[in-house]
Structure 1
């Protein structure tokens, strides 16, 4: 009895564990996702601009973690690294688009260079990764793409409007992607994390040059966020591992109890606003 190349790879995966491709794997949630996958017996290609922090982890999991430098804003580099990952692992089972950064400041303050760099990473980079991995996932007839957006992707908020805008764009792209690849046996899960103890607000943040007339608003925001709790990345990673075991997997998953409540509250407020103006909306006819 003969087997196809795809069947052979799947049998090998059962022996060696699933094959993961994780962007932004050096720190924060990406690092936690990589550690959880490795602890589960899987194999991981972890990418980041700086893979130095992965060296110790690679030693601890000899032969199961391949760390590759990658700036996801570079489309050609993304395709080259994905090709190398597939060559090394024989295929990919789970792709986690996690890499991202925060552009912090009021919209008026942001420079063109800052805005373009922000969207190149948070939106275009995830798109380039998707374009690079999908030919392989489509050919093998399986795979799971995890798109890490944010609890803030449902709407904008002062001082993080550009971050929310980028995550909202990725959210919309991910919904479209899910429809486009479902018939090929590929699943998409949109993961919306809340606040976790990562370095997003330090190493991962670009600050705008502050303008004095926003000082009162900044003071209010600082007071609002003063007592905010941050979750443990390992807890988020444990939930992700459980989610990918579910068949079919969740199409959308909020990470964090407080975040869950806030997202639902925001959605309910939006529904209320639509209903408030329903009569006016319907005056526009059947459009």
Structure 2
């Protein structure tokens, strides 16, 4: 049975690739973008199976209106993929207030508004699947991406609570945690701080560590996302790419070693 999927940020990158993958197999897609011209090719090829909507996820009223318009158009929303977001590159000291707030407005609050808007619809349907695009950098961190890391850590915390709240309504929740892929995330979509020479060394070391196979092929992710959507028992977290798993495993082993080393101090702090 075909599904109706709402994807935010469907103009390019993962959003566009996944929208086309769903449409190719016969699903219906509510595709949102700030510029509707970027969705013209999908409309030409898939006709009435795609419902394009202009949307700036930073605008809460617009988000609620778009989600309800999508539901009214196709009659239901089976899957929400909160994909809209971008990267902010720069050291924490370099980041302006406006840059930090704008990062959270899109990566966290835009996702929150769409989530809030779709829950009543899925509750009435007695089912649905909310998929948040997090990142491996919502689990572990890179230097000079601190505000981006923070926005994705916020998504992780929100979503862990969300799954406990809405499971009784029959609504499934997942997070997709990609490693780096050759999308526009680090290109024209990205924002860069004004550089401080003091951070040139740490930036250089980070980028020098990226091997040729560090960046995955975004088109290769479609089958994984289709499997996630079709799963009767989807995971809360799904890594995309072969870099994430060893990176996170090594990081968490280091965390456990440190927690173990300080366990006596932690226990004593309980006071009982």
Cα drift, residue 228 of structure 1: 5.0
Contact 1:192 1:254 in 2 (8 A): yes
Deviations 1:238-282 (A, max 9, x none): 101112222111111111112122122212221121112112211
Contact 2:132 2:175 in 1 (8 A): yes
Distance 2:95 2:36 in 1: 29
Answering whether residue 263 of structure 2 is matched by residue 278 of structure 1, we say: yes
Contact 2:134 2:152 in 1 (8 A): yes
Deviations 1:80-121 (A, max 9, x none): 111110010101001000110111000000000111111000
Answering whether residue 154 of structure 2 is matched by residue 164 of structure 1, we say: no
> 2:121 is matched with which residue?
136
Structure 1 unaligned blocks of 5 or more: 1-13
Which has the higher mean CA deviation after the structures are superposed, 229-238 or 23-32? Answer: 229-238
SS in 2 for 1:62: helix
> 2:21 is matched with which residue?
36
Answering whether residue 147 of structure 2 is matched by residue 177 of structure 1, we say: no
Alignment root-mean-square deviation, CA: 1.3
Instruction: Figure out how many residues of one structure are paired with residues of the other and give that number.
Output: 272
Equivalent of 2:110 in 125, 141, 159: 125
Contact 2:77 2:128 in 1 (8 A): yes
Distance 1:228 1:157 in 2: 18
Answering whether residue 170 of structure 2 is matched by residue 193 of structure 1, we say: no
Distance 1:220 1:233 in 2: 25
Q: 1:228 to 1:51 in 2, by over 3 A?
A: farther
Equivalent of 1:48 in 33, 36, 44: 33
Contact 2:172 2:234 in 1 (8 A): yes
Distance 1:216 1:257 in 2: 27
> 1:74 is matched with which residue?
59
Deviations 1:49-87 (A, max 9, x none): 123222112111111011111110100000111111001
Answering whether residue 88 of structure 2 is matched by residue 107 of structure 1, we say: no
Deviations 1:110-141 (A, max 9, x none): 00011111100000000000011111001110
Contact 1:138 1:186 in 2 (8 A): yes
Distance 1:264 1:145 in 2: 26
Which has the higher mean CA deviation after the structures are superposed, 142-151 or 268-277? Answer: 268-277
Equivalent of 1:252 in 237, 240, 254: 237
Contact 2:140 2:248 in 1 (8 A): no
Distance 1:286 1:35 in 2: 57
Distance 2:98 2:213 in 1: 31
Contact 2:214 2:243 in 1 (8 A): no
Runs of at least 4 residues of structure 1 off by over 2 A? 225-229
Distance 1:262 1:82 in 2: 36
Structure 2 matches for 1:222-237, cutoff 5 A?
222-225=207-210, 227=212, 229-237=214-222
Cα drift, residue 227 of structure 1: 3.6
> 1:154 is matched with which residue?
139
Answering whether residue 57 of structure 2 is matched by residue 57 of structure 1, we say: no
Cα drift, residue 219 of structure 1: 1.9
